């Protein structure tokens, strides 16, 4: 199987003890690509360094995750813009809006989200969107931008309903599914994943968070486990795991221009 994990926080602390082992197991599981995604300036910097050190397997995304926007240094976006020019950086993010944790005022989150979208457009790189209890607000931000033509980006760890999925698909966006889709109670989300057009479907771990079934609760999650998400979505779509893996890998390679 040829797999691509479009969203992993391999820079984060739970991987400090065994990062090389994590990469080894990923290769063993058939991963040919992993996008390591930054959440702050130091984390984005680390993602770049990791990707530069393992160019055969890793690429990077740089950005300020919405829950961190009120605690970053004043010149944070300048630092992100500088990192974004590096060759290993294939996307801008993660950005987006979080209405659940409320770690940062929504106005400030929106300001940063717009700046990330602007940077992505300038550099002609896709953006990666975090959406939690913020579907309507994100639609409001993206709709005027989509009026100018299809958008290049990923709704990451998508958990919305089909109506929201359709709205993002109509804008040209890709939908990426994480471990949540494998959970027993997620029948509706599996149905959404089964309806996404083949050329817009992506898979991810969002590791170290949320291990897929049958490993739910076993931490940290890691890229090798994306195979379980691939199998689950393949079953929902009535295709073989191999073809689902190949399809989502092709989509990631095309979107990231790897």
Contacting positions for Zn ion (CB under 5 A):
94
The nearest distance, CB 243 to Zn ion, in angstroms, is 27
Q: 11 vs 94, which CB is nearer to Zn ion?
A: 94
Q: 1 vs 255, which CB is nearer to Zn ion?
A: 255
Largest CA distance in the chain: 49
How would you classify residue 30: left for phi > 0, otherwise alpha for psi between -120 and 50, otherwise beta?
A: left
- Closest listed residue to residue 60, CA positions, set 95, 9, 2: 9
214-242 residues labelled b (16+ CB within 10 A) or e (exposed): eeeeeebbbbbbbbbbbbbbbebbebebe
The nearest distance, CB 205 to Zn ion, in angstroms, is 10
Q: 94 vs 222, which CB is nearer to Zn ion?
A: 94
- Asked whether 212 and 182 are in contact (CB, 8 A), the reply is yes
- How many other CB atoms sit within 10 Å of the CB of residue 132? 16
- Evaluated on CA atoms 226, 51, 38, 131, the torsion sign reads negative
Q: 88 vs 204, which CB is nearer to Zn ion?
A: 204
Q: 61 vs 196, which CB is nearer to Zn ion?
A: 61
């Amino acid at each position: 199987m040829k797999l691509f994990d479009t969203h992993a926080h391999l820079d984060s602390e739970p991987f400090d003890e065994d990062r090389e082992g994590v990469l080894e197991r990923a290769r063993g599981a058939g991963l040919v690509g992993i996008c390591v995604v930054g959440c702050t300036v130091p984390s984005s910097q680390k993602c770049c360094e990791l990707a530069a050190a393992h160019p055969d397997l890793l690429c990077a995304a740089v950005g300020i995750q919405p829950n961190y926007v009120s605690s970053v240094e004043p010149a944070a976006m300048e630092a992100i813009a500088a990192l974004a020019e590096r060759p290993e950086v294939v996307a801008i993010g993660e950005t987006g809006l979080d209405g659940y944790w409320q770690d940062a005022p929504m106005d400030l989150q929106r300001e940063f989200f717009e700046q990330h979208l602007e940077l992505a457009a300038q550099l002609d790189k896709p953006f990666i969107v975090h959406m939690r209890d913020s579907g309507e607000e994100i639609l409001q931000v993206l709709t005027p931008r989509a009026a100018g033509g299809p958008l290049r980006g990923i709704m990451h760890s998508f958990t919305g309903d089909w109506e929201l999925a359709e709205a993002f698909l109509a804008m040209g966006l890709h939908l990426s599914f994480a471990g949540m889709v494998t959970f027993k109670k997620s029948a509706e989300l599996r149905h959404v994943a089964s309806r996404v057009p083949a050329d817009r479907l992506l898979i991810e771990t969002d590791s170290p968070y949320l291990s897929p079934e049958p490993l739910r609760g076993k931490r940290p999650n890691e890229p090798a486990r994306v195979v379980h998400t691939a199998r689950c979505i393949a079953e929902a779509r009535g295709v073989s795991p191999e073809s689902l893996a190949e399809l989502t890998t092709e989509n990631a390679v095309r979107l990231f221009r790897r």
